[in-house]
Amino acid sequence: MTTPALSLKNLCKSFGPAKIINDVTLDVAKGERHAIIGPNGAGKSTLFNLISGLYTPTSGTVSLNGTLISGVAPYEINRMGLSRSFQVSNIFSNMTVRENVRCGVLHSLGQGYSFWKSVTSSKEVQEKTWEVLEHCSLLDKANTPAALLPYADQRALEIAITIAGGAEVILLDEPTAGMSHSETDRAVELIRKSTEGKTLLIVEHDMGVIFDLADRISVLVYGEIIASAPPSEIRGDPKVREAYLGDEALPEETA
């Protein structure tokens, strides 16, 4: 039995009287692509904020590779190898695309808070930056100010910054939200490529994407996980069907 990459135990989060996350226990194995689905307001983003350190749990624990990370500052969690993206594009809009990615690369390559050397002095940083840009098909837009990017490219940049630090555990919060079909296909391809051999936890509304990508799916309803199983089982689970009734239809098995 190896330690799971990510392990949530009896996780609870309340805001005043409102219990948003209620007793969530979940293990994500190393290298697994795990998706979280659930109706609006189920607490998916709150769960991400708890894992990534933005919120401190009311009770319960989060462990990354066996190390307790609940209550640890986000930047320290990031340094331990967990990186996340945001549902709303959260980029450095006054910088160029290249500079955005470079910021994401800096810490993982030991640049620290240094102010005695040029940011261009490290060949490693430059190469890694180009590599990530190329990987995310943003090379031709490298010198565009991030604020001027088209929406789909901003989302791609969001992912680029997230993976730039080379984290082993990646959390993606609705990476394809608001995209057209062809854009979604491109994004899924990017996600698949970027998380090769890594652990992925993804929140997504697009069921096509989920069933295409995920090894396992957890269903979060009213802050509780009601099912956690491979896609084929989730599809047939009556509890899940009930929870989703009138929300979004689960896609039928496609040949």
Asked whether position 203 contacts another protein by CB under 8 A, the answer is no
CB of 121 to another protein, least distance (A): 9
Q: Where are the beta strands (DSSP E) in 120-223?
A: 169-173, 199-203, 216-221
- The whole-angstrom separation of Cα 100 and Cα 157 is 8
Q: Per CB under 8 A, which region of 102-110, 179-187, 210-218, 242-250 contacts another protein? A: 102-110
Sign (positive/negative) of CA torsion 189, 191, 194, 197? negative
Q: Per CB under 8 A, which region of 25-33, 80-88, 212-220, 241-249 contacts another protein? A: 80-88
- The whole-angstrom separation of Cα 105 and Cα 99 is 10
Asked whether position 72 contacts another protein by CB under 8 A, the answer is no
Asked whether position 67 contacts another protein by CB under 8 A, the answer is no
Asked whether position 135 contacts another protein by CB under 8 A, the answer is no
Task: Tell me the per-residue interface mask from 43 to 62 with another protein, x by CB under 8 A, - otherwise.
Answer: ---------xxx--------
Task: Tell me the per-residue interface mask from 136 to 175 with another protein, x by CB under 8 A, - otherwise.
Answer: ---x--xx-----------------xx-xx----------
Are residues 213 and 33 in contact, defined by beta-carbon separation less than 8 angstroms?
yes
Give 73-77's long-range contacts (Cβ < 8 A, gap of 24+): 77/52, 77/53
- The whole-angstrom separation of Cα 107 and Cα 85 is 17
For another protein, the closer of residues 95 and 227 by Cβ is: 95
Nearest to 98 by CA among 59, 144, 154, 63: 144
CB of 251 to another protein, least distance (A): 32
Count CA atoms within 13 Å of residue 169 on its CB side. Answer: 23
Residue in 58, 61, 90, 137 binding another protein, rule: CB under 8 A: 90
Asked whether position 91 contacts another protein by CB under 8 A, the answer is yes
Size of interface with another protein, in residues (CB under 8 A) = 44
Residue in 2, 120, 182, 254 binding another protein, rule: CB under 8 A: 120
Nearest to 86 by CA among 74, 94, 95, 98: 74
Distances from the Cα of 42 to the Cα of 48, 149, 196, 223, 226, angstroms: 12, 31, 29, 5, 11
Which residues contribute to the site for another protein (CB under 8 A)?
A: 52-54, 73-75, 78-79, 83-84, 86, 90-95, 98-99, 102-104, 106-108, 111-120, 130, 134, 139, 142-143, 161-162, 164-165
